[in-house]
Structure 1
Amino acid sequence: MFYLHRMKLSLNTVILALALGANALVGSSWSMTNVPSTGITEITFPIAILEADHISGYYFAQQFAFTGTTDIGYTGLQPRPDSNGKSVLHAAFSSFIAGTTSTDSNCSDGADGGAGVSCSVEWNGVYGRTYNLEVVYQVWSGHWVGTIVDTVTHARVHIGSYKLPSGVGGITSSQVGFVEWYPWNGGEPADHCAKLPYQKTFFGNPTTTHWGSKGTVDLPYEYGDCKGQVDLSAHKVDGGVQVNCAAVRVPGSDWRGENGPGFNAELPRNLVLSAQSQLLTPLVAV
């Protein structure tokens, strides 16, 4: 996966580093007000995959940084092929900080070939539904915990947990989210930008229970070697931003989602009723 780490966290540096990521497509900065110098101990990122082919390939993520280190973590959602007639989503929760440890069965050592820990789970998620991706520090265990919360049913799915090394503090006030088509990390096909599958995603303003803090997500922008070639459309919506790009549909793949908060549905209601019956049931951690 594409990620940004080992860098100073000024906005200019973040944007510069993003521009060097050839296999990512879209970036969007987020920020939180009234964050103490020690950082905050919990943050929530709302994300909805509004429309996408039900195949592996896209990664919709939000990165977060910590005090006391220049490395980062991230959490996000990925589409997966349907299973037994039900849609499947994949959630990730990772740390790229050397010395991170975990005994969680959903987690493994290493992150994208480097130091850290990677945690993930798959469940019968619903396209078009907003999920809150929680990142919370447990004082009693000393672990950071990643959780998916269904904003409709309020069901919770555990992604994973890890412990950061001594000297690493709370989450800082800003970082960057991204949209990535990760199959290109293994090599780009000829005329690859024209072959990018369509997607539409909602990134909500981050939230926290820390007193006086308010989160915002900025308007997404293109970068990478497909800049100007993927028909990007990005605009503010209630509670966040919506971004869609590309125009290729994979034959035989369903991409429809249910009507949910943060966007205006463009599909007849009878086309999306089946998505509402999906169960928030963990399938397997991978």
Structure 2
Amino acid sequence: MAGASHDSGYYFAEQFAFQNIKNIGYCGIQNRPNSHGESIVHAVFSSFQNGTTTSDANCHDGADNGPGGYLHLAVENIPGTTTWTGTVINTATGAQARVGSWTLPSGAGGIESSYSGFVEYYRGTQPCAKLPKTEATFYNPVSKTPGAGKGVVGEPYEYGDCVGKVDFSTTKVSDGYEIKVGF
């Protein structure tokens, strides 16, 4: 996110599907204004599956006003369970912070190997031609879960009210995609 703006508004997200259940989840990042000269990033880890539960103090029931749960992110399964943990990782320093966990309904399997990503300007208050320029890189997902395998990030796409109006582009890079959007 080195080229990302330091304002609220953009959501860079990767969707994922679980084996044996219908609804998806996603994880992503949203910039926030700097605080005391330091960059602030809000990480999101959501399940839209009905029956998702959590007792984690960092988590809440529901996702985007629907069923599921979310964390305020590496995603790791607790072996032998349907419980998943979200961890924020600073890829520049390696620093990690556990954010919380939620449990999918019984019978849920592992994460599917491929899905898709999106970029959304969620504030919806600016004319499309005035959206701030930002950029980020999505890399293939990784997991520390034994036997989880390697995922593949799908090519990110535009989402929201300004599709086709904001100079959106993606460039394939080693193990992912670089995304640029805005003016």
TM over 0.5: yes
Question: 1:114 — aligned with what?
Answer: 66
Q: Is the 8 A contact 1:50 1:202 kept in 2?
A: no
Shift of 1:197: 1.6
Higher RCO (C-alpha 8 Å, min separation 6): 1
Check if 1:70 corresponds to 2:6: no
Q: What whole-Å deviation, never above 9, does each CA across 1:249-268 have from its counterpart, x for those lacking one? A: xxxxxxxxxxxxxxxxxxxx
Stretch deviating more after TM superposition (208-217 or 59-68): 208-217
Q: Which amino acid aligns with 1:111?
A: A
Q: Which amino acid aligns with 2:74?
A: E
Q: What whole-Å deviation, never above 9, does each CA across 1:224-270 have from its counterpart, x for those lacking one? A: 553332112221123321110111xxxxxxxxxxxxxxxxxxxxxxx
Shift of 1:153: 2.3
Question: 2:176 — aligned with what?
Answer: 240
Shift of 1:214: 4.3
Q: 1:77 to 1:224 in 2, by over 3 A?
A: closer
Aligned residues with identical type, % of pairs = 49
Shift of 1:221: 4.1
Check if 1:168 corresponds to 2:108: yes
The structure 2 residue matched to 1:94, chosen from 16, 21, 46, is: 46
Question: 1:259 — aligned with what?
Answer: none
> Matched residues in 1 for 2:57 and 2:129: separation?
39
Q: What whole-Å deviation, never above 9, does each CA across 1:18-63 have from its counterpart, x for those lacking one? A: xxxxxxxxxxxxxxxxxxxxxxxxxxxxxxx232221111111111
How high is the TM-score relative to the length of structure 2?
A: 0.87
Q: 1:61 to 1:207 in 2, by over 3 A?
A: same
> Matched residues in 2 for 1:58 and 1:223: separation?
11
Structure 2 unaligned segments of length 5 or more: list them.
none
> How does 1:226-265 map onto structure 2 within 5 Å?
226-247=162-183
> Matched residues in 1 for 2:76 and 2:63: separation?
20
> Matched residues in 1 for 2:113 and 2:82: separation?
21
Shift of 1:211: 5.6
Q: 1:231 to 1:156 in 2, by over 3 A?
A: same
> How does 1:115-130 map onto structure 2 within 5 Å?
115-120=67-72
Q: Which amino acid aligns with 1:202?
A: T
1:202 aligned counterpart, secondary structure: strand
Q: What whole-Å deviation, never above 9, does each CA across 1:147-178 have from its counterpart, x for those lacking one? A: 12222322111122001111211111221111
User: Which has a greater percent of strand?
Assistant: 2
Q: Is the 8 A contact 1:134 1:146 kept in 2?
A: yes
1:75 aligned counterpart, secondary structure: strand
Check if 1:202 corresponds to 2:154: no
How high is the TM-score relative to the length of structure 1?
A: 0.58
Check if 1:56 corresponds to 2:8: yes
Q: 1:222 to 1:82 in 2, by over 3 A?
A: closer
Q: Is the 8 A contact 1:77 1:89 kept in 2?
A: yes
Q: Is the 8 A contact 1:58 1:179 kept in 2?
A: yes
> Matched residues in 1 for 2:123 and 2:59: separation?
22
Q: Which amino acid aligns with 1:239?
A: D
Q: How many residues align?
A: 182
Q: What whole-Å deviation, never above 9, does each CA across 1:72-100 have from its counterpart, x for those lacking one? A: 11111110111122111111111111111
> Matched residues in 2 for 1:217 and 1:143: separation?
22
